[in-house]
Amino acid sequence: MVYAGHVSYVAWLHPYWAQQIREGEHRMAVGRDLSTTTIRLTSTDNYFLSDGLYVSEDQLENSKLLRLDVVKVNPVKASHRSASEKKTEEDTERWFVKRARTEEDKGAQASCSQSLSRCTDTLQPEESSSGTKLGDDDDDGDDDGSTSYVVKRISAFLSETEPYILDIDLDFFTCKNPFKELYTQEEFTILQELYNFQGPSPDADKEELDACVDRRVHQLEDLEAAFADLLEDDGEETVTRWARNPGMASLTQLVSSLRSRNLCPDYEMVHQAGLTCDSVELPHHISTDEEIDRLVSAVQLLLKALPKPTLVTMSRSSLDEYCPVEQVDSVQTRVLAVLESLYGPLDLHKDFENNSTETLVP
């Protein structure tokens, strides 16, 4: 979308446990690499370098400027959530269950909409049990991650008339690294060694950056080829041949461990798991119901202070299990209740009910 000219500014709002990209402002050019014809960019953050995406701007054609703001969002403090607010969220979930049963009845649907309006009123930033306003002093003022801080960071780039997309991924509220259930800690340690990313020095020049990316691309290509070979034949000869490559000696131990638990390991999945073991591990934080409620409240306070979005998209992320399957429906219900309380009745398109993609478009 950036290369096509549709988007020039992206704000990634993340919980404290997601640290893949350095906090702050990133400015970069996005364009077509003259040598590979692939879309690449000029950011030198390790997140992009470890995927081999960096290229100098003089190697790009038809480049577009992108500003990326990475902003942490803290959950509302537990001490500022009253018992009545928690009761309200239970009522909201019951409302959505009722709505699902009566979706085709327009009269019942209108009645439910009125009920939602009443039952979500207390989700607004009103007085807590301590008598203070949610979103004011309880929000730690302008501290990093506070509602007021986040609003100040991104509101300067949004206006009442400028269109923008609100894209919500439900694994923002609770997140699982699904690979942790597939492999042992020993296997993960070996994958981290095999896929280890050696970043450049902090003051790296163009030559060092180019060398870093070239080294990383060849490393990933070799690992992809190795596991593709193992899919065809994971016998001792194949394993030994690949293990002779620099940095791949531990492949022998990895294959032995995998085969001790499964005679036919899925080496393609092993490679996908390895790609997540570069400089920062995938986030893994399965939230409690209270933590989810506090994050939902923080998001509501934030959205209330921002202009109404042109479009809202929502990704469930449950097919790949990044959002735990046992929590995704509950989280979705809470977030939809917030959106309807802020923006009115929603025109929902539940694509996930009809196909294998898990995207919900209100």
Q: Quick one: pLDDT at residue 132?
A: 31
pLDDT score at 90? 52
Phi, psi of 14 (to 5 degrees): -130, 150
**Local confidence band at 196 (pLDDT 50, 70, 90 cut-offs):** very high
Q: Which amino acid is at 18?
A: A
pTM over 0.85: no
State the sign of the Cα–Cα–Cα–Cα dihedral 184, 188, 194, 195. positive
How sure is the predictor about 241, in pLDDT bands with cuts at 50, 70 and 90? very high
Give residue-wise pLDDT tens across range 145-154.
888 899 998 8
How does pLDDT run across 112-153, given as a tens digit for each residue? 333 333 333 333 333 333 333 333 434 555 678 888 899 998
DSSP β-ladder status, 311-315 and 359-361: antiparallel
Question: What confidence tier does 220 reach under pLDDT thresholds 50, 70, 90?
Answer: very high
Q: Is the pLDDT of residue 97 over 60?
A: no
Q: How far apart are CA 324 and CA 179, in angstroms?
A: 13
Which amino acid, residue 135?
G
Comparing 307 with 97, the larger pLDDT belongs to: 307
